[in-house]
Amino acid sequence: MKNKIIMLVSLILLVIVITIVYKNNSVNDKLTSEYDAIYTINGEKVTLKNGFSETSVENSNSKIITKVFGNQLKHDLNEDGIKDIVFLISQETGGSGVFYYVVARINTPEGPLGSDAVFLGDRIAPQTINIDEGSGRVNVIVVNYAERNPGEPMTTPPSLGKSLWLKLDPKTMQFGIVEQNFPGEADVNKMSLDMKKWNWIKTQYSNDKIVTPNIPEKFSITFKKDGSFSIATDCNNAGGSYMVENKKITFGTMFMTEMYCENSQENEFLKMIEQTESFMFTSKGEMILLLKYDSGSVIFK
């Protein structure tokens, strides 16, 4: 009889434990699934399921891991009476970097819609997301974070406070950058490679090495709509063809003049161009060429 009572009590306790675990998992799934949708990051579709995505890198053992970081803001972004959500995600691509993005999910009766992601930075310190109540503009979102001061290595904790003002276009699911010193809204998604001559500012490698041009005004790249590009350096000129697919860019064989210059940075600069894999734009009016294997970023303005 005593053994039966012990078995009954054990069974009841087991049922209670299983019930608690199931409820906790259900709550966790509900909390993470409110972020789930298909988002576009650097031109690639990423599907979050329970706030997480893992994909393999072609011809590599590395994996791209994308997950919800948090700092969410719930707000009706398309004025349909339904609360939507803006939040941060992090992405690791197999290198040392941890890249942070802002995304939004619009909730509709037909299902959730995910936005294009806006890049914030590598290994930054995310802070808050809120609505800009004082701008006089509707549904302007403020993303606050900290990054490193110019020239500081990636090992330095971020300490320079930054704010980014954004507004979502529910029709295209793309964010526009609201410049505070600009009369109107500047949309990075409408910037193009051929919009201007781009001057090299600096290159930040993933091993914390930073390279800057000794003569900044000498280094530039210009893209044309016909698929050709031209490069100026501190010694020679170069050029060739390029192809773009989404945010991926491929440079064809380069031709160049052959003058010799002492202490030129030309070879190093051209190597950066040759190693470029993709590109992006920032709200600061920058074009960034992202190097292969997550090895660094070449910044132009």
CB 112 within 8 A of CB 105: yes
The token duo for 89 is 């995600």
Burial of 184 (0-12, 13-18, 19+ CB in 10 A): exposed
Output 104 or 171, whichever has higher pLDDT: 104
- pLDDT for the residue numbered 4: 55
276: alpha, beta or left? (left if phi > 0; alpha if psi -120 to 50): beta
User: Each residue of 24-46: pLDDT tens digit?
Assistant: 444 334 445 889 999 999 888 99
SS3 assignment, position 292: helix
* Highest mean predicted confidence (pLDDT) among 243-247, 254-258, 270-274, 291-295: 270-274
* Highest mean predicted confidence (pLDDT) among 29-43, 99-113, 166-180, 185-199: 99-113
Tokens 């069974």 sit at which residue? 11
270-286: b or e for each residue (b if 16 or more CB lie within 10 Å)?
bebbebbbbbbbbbebb
Rounded CA-CA distance 63/65 in Å is: 6
Residue 33 belongs to what H/E stretch? Answer: helix 2-33
Confidence of residue 161 (pLDDT cuts 50, 70, 90): confident
Rounded CA-CA distance 93/89 in Å is: 13
Bridge partner residues of 205 (DSSP): 296
Question: Which residues are CB-neighbours of 90 under 8 A, at least 6 positions away?
Answer: 66, 67, 69, 98, 99, 100, 101
Confidence of residue 150 (pLDDT cuts 50, 70, 90): confident
Q: What is the 3-state secondary structure (H, E, C) of 245-282?
A: ECCEEEECCCEECCCCCCCCCHHHHHHHHHCEEEEEEC
Can you tell me the mean pLDDT for 271-285? 88
- pLDDT for the residue numbered 247: 87
Beta strands 197-205; 220-223: pairing state = antiparallel
Map out the domains of the chain with their CATH numbers: 38-188 (no CATH), 191-300 (2.40.128.270)
Q: Which of 292, 284, 247 lies closest to 42 in space, CA to CA?
A: 247
**Prediction pTM value:** 0.54
The token duo for 14 is 């087991």
User: Each residue of 47-70: pLDDT tens digit?
Assistant: 999 999 999 877 778 889 999 998
Can you tell me the mean pLDDT for 214-223? 92
Mean pLDDT of the chain: 84
DSSP 124-148: -EEEEEEE-TTSSSTT-EEEEEEEP
Can you tell me the mean pLDDT for 199-228? 91
